[in-house]
């Protein structure tokens, strides 16, 4: 599918990856409708930080994926859907699992139903590497078993299987896009890299962390967004589940050392048991395979971890960017 000139909807456009995707789609020449979660403050999330010229090119649609009627309105006349809206915090999913079912499962169902009625030409449903759970084999390709190790991952597995069913039952042109751990500017401090950076930039010499032995596969946000665009442009990706992974891994302890060296070498890392997951819920290792994405689209990561961390630190150093963060609060 050629995105230039196409009417495109991005759900979750007010969030971290969604706001970067909106920018990229505007650059591609798409006509972008951005679904942001309605709130009485009239906040458009990270879209409020975009360049005014970019934002003027975007139709902002305040709403909620949990409302099926609104999703019909949001998808009216739309040719392609990038469905990113979700509740994403694993610790919060322990406390409020029903909220994750409402947003991630029922919300995805509403988007799929509306896309079917609108006869959308492409539907990209955003999954997560968390659906795989702890690695049974590496690198983890798309045939790796799914393991629901948190209510969050369970809700995303359910959403993935709903998306698959709409492809198989109704010929809806769905692709399940499965990013591994994305990081970069605008990410919330519920994620590990902003948690570390904001503590260090605040001058803390005692960096609070949970399990430092787990490993993750990190993608810089520009690479993740490019993966979405490449998948949308690939007809062979319809009906497929596709990882976006760097196919490299690093432990959280090693990651913390890299950031300490870059920001405040005098800081030390300290254990905080509040940040531990329940024992059987902890995902010990994530290392994704990107071979399928490479084969279908030619995609490969362009920003390595060292460069990506430098770019992310540079963004957080701006007082304007960091002012909404609370480095001394454990953000779940």
User: Tokens standing for 312?
Assistant: 């992310």
Residue 215 and residue 150: Cα distance in Å, rounded?
A: 17
Closest CA to 215 of 246, 194, 184, 244: 246
Please say whether the beta carbons of 222 and 20 come within 8 A: yes
Residues 6+ apart with CB under 8 A from 317: 201
Residue 153 and residue 139: Cα distance in Å, rounded?
A: 19
DSSP H/E element including 53: helix 52-56
Query: How many C-beta neighbours within 10 Å does residue 165 have?
Result: 14
Whether 132 is a known active-site residue: answer: no
Secondary structure letter of residue 276 according to DSSP? P
Closest CA to 65 of 121, 122, 132, 14: 14
DSSP H/E element including 55: helix 52-56
Q: Which of 152, 183, 220, 325 is catalytic?
A: 152
Residues marked active site are found at 152
């Amino acid at each position: 599918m050629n995105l230039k000139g196409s009417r495109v909807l991005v759900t979750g456009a007010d969030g971290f990856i969604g706001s970067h995707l909106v920018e990229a789609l505007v650059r591609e020449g798409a006509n972008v409708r951005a679904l942001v979660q309605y709130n009485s403050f009239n906040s458009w999330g990270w879209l409020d930080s975009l360049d005014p010229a970019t934002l003027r090119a975007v139709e902002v649609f305040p709403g909620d994926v949990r409302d099926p009627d609104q999703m019909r309105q949001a998808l009216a006349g739309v040719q392609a859907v990038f469905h990113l809206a979700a509740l994403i915090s694993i610790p919060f999913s322990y406390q409020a699992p029903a909220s994750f079912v409402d947003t991630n499962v029922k919300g995805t169902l509403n988007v799929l139903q509306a896309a079917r009625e609108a006869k959308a030409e492409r539907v990209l449903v955003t999954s997560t590497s968390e659906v795989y759970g702890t690695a049974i084999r590496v690198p983890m390709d798309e045939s790796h078993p799914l393991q629901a190790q948190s209510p969050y991952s369970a809700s995303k597995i359910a959403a993935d299987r709903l998306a698959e069913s709409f492809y198989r039952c109704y010929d809806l042109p769905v692709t399940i896009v499965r990013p591994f751990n994305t990081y970069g500017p605008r990410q919330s401090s519920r994620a590990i890299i902003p948690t570390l950076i904001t503590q260090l930039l605040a001058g803390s010499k005692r960096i609070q962390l949970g399990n430092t032995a787990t490993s993750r596969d990190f993608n810089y946000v520009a690479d993740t967004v490019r993966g979405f665009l490449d998948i949308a442009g690939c007809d062979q990706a319809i009906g497929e589940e596709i990882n976006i992974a760097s196919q490299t891994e690093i432990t959280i302890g090693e990651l913390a050392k890299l950031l300490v060296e870059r920001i405040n070498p005098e800081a030390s890392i300290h254990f905080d048991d509040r940040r531990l997951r329940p024992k059987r819920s902890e995902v010990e290792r994530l290392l994704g395979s990107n071979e399928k994405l490479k084969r279908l689209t030619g995609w490969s990561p362009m920003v390595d971890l060292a460069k990506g961390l430098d770019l992310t630190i540079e963004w957080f150093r701006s007082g304007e960017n960091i002012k909404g963060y609370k480095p001394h609060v454990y953000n779940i």
